[in-house]
Amino acid sequence: MYYILLFLIGLLIGSLINVIVWRMYHDQPFVTGRSKCVHCQHVIAWYDNIPLLSFILLRAQCRHCKNKISFYYPCVEFATGILFLLTGTGIALLQTNVYSVESLLRNLFFVSVLVVIFVMDLRWYIILDKVIVPAIAVTFLLNWLGNIYTVKSLLIAMLIGGLFFFIQWFVSRGQWLGSGDIRMGILMGAMLGYPNVIGALFVSYMIGGTISIFFLVFKLKELTSKLPLATFLSIGTFVYVVFEAYIRTITCQLHLFFLC
């Protein structure tokens, strides 16, 4: 029941993220007003706004104007549900006081923020300050007040993450990446602490490099084409947020095995 509930909550949060991302990008208030069809602007009834299920029952089209509903919406909902499930499963593996309900809520918040950044950068190549700046502050406080990382660990990680991208931005005069990626590096440090941020940066660049090579080989992109760097950074951060508990569990089991 615990895992089913996590998945369902993830679906609901994914649906909410779809609304937040669209409204923030179009500079609309996202805390008020009913959801509307992006084509005909007709208010969507609650029974047409059930995550995944409504998309299937409506056969991927608006009930009123019959325009197609993008597969992007159910994909975000389903992915968020899976990420919530993986996060909860990983934390449940470790039966310690450190991995409590507070830690679960903290990680689910991190995942939600990363999904917002992932989607916005993938769709529009943009990282909004009104998303990432508050996220940095809240993330820092959650890790510090929850005694997950020390202030020193967080500040070092934030410095590494920010400086890593600032140097690239400065050397290239903004040609390689945008200033938003610098703030993304700071957010990664605030989420992961030191030295996890270094591993997340490595994983992110490995994933980004692999995908870029794939695009170039199959001529889907050119060498000078723009790529959503924050999308890859989100994935690398996902790995450490979602799978940290798995990694810790495996490490502990290996340690016990060799002790025996």
> What integer pLDDT is reported at residue 89 of this predicted model?
79
Arithmetic mean of pLDDT, 211-231:
68
Residues 6+ positions from 87 with CB-CB distance below 8 Å: 6, 104, 107, 108, 111, 241, 242
| Residue 114 to residue 234: CA distance in whole angstroms | 6
Domain count, the chain: 2
> What integer pLDDT is reported at residue 226 of this predicted model?
65
Query: Do the domain assignments include residue 79?
Result: yes
- pLDDT tops 80 at residue 215: no
- pLDDT tops 70 at residue 165: yes
Residues 79, 143, single domain; the answer is no
> What integer pLDDT is reported at residue 172 of this predicted model?
83
Number of C-alpha atoms within 13 angstroms, CB side, residue 125?
6
Residues 54, 161, single domain; the answer is no
Least confident span in 39-43, 76-80, 170-174, 195-199: 39-43
| Domain carrying residue 226 | 127-260
Residue with the two structure tokens 């609309």 = 28
| pLDDT single digits (tens) 116-131 | 999 998 888 888 888 9
Query: Do the domain assignments include residue 56?
Result: yes
Residues 131, 257, single domain; the answer is yes
Collapse the DSSP code of 171 into the 3-class scheme (helix H, G, I; strand E, B; otherwise coil) and give the result: helix
Collapse the DSSP code of 248 into the 3-class scheme (helix H, G, I; strand E, B; otherwise coil) and give the result: helix
70: left (phi over 0), alpha (psi -120 to 50) or beta: beta
> What integer pLDDT is reported at residue 97 of this predicted model?
47
Query: Do the domain assignments include residue 101?
Result: no
Arithmetic mean of pLDDT, 83-112:
77
Q: Of 69, 93, 117, which marks where a domain is finished?
A: 93
- pLDDT tops 80 at residue 1: no
Q: Of 93, 109, 138, which marks where a domain is finished?
A: 93
- 109-89-54 Cα angle (round to 5): 65
| Greatest mean pLDDT among 46-50, 54-58, 62-66, 137-141 | 137-141
Least confident span in 30-39, 131-140, 142-151: 30-39
Residues 131, 63, single domain; the answer is no
Residue with the two structure tokens 């994933």 = 207
pLDDT level of residue 59 (50, 70, 90 thresholds)? confident
Query: Do the domain assignments include residue 74?
Result: yes
pTM score: 0.87
What is the DSSP secondary structure assignment for residue 175, as one 8-state letter?
S
pLDDT level of residue 94 (50, 70, 90 thresholds)? low
Segments in the chain forming alpha helices (H) = 2-25, 53-57, 72-93, 101-124, 129-145, 151-172, 179-192, 196-217, 229-259
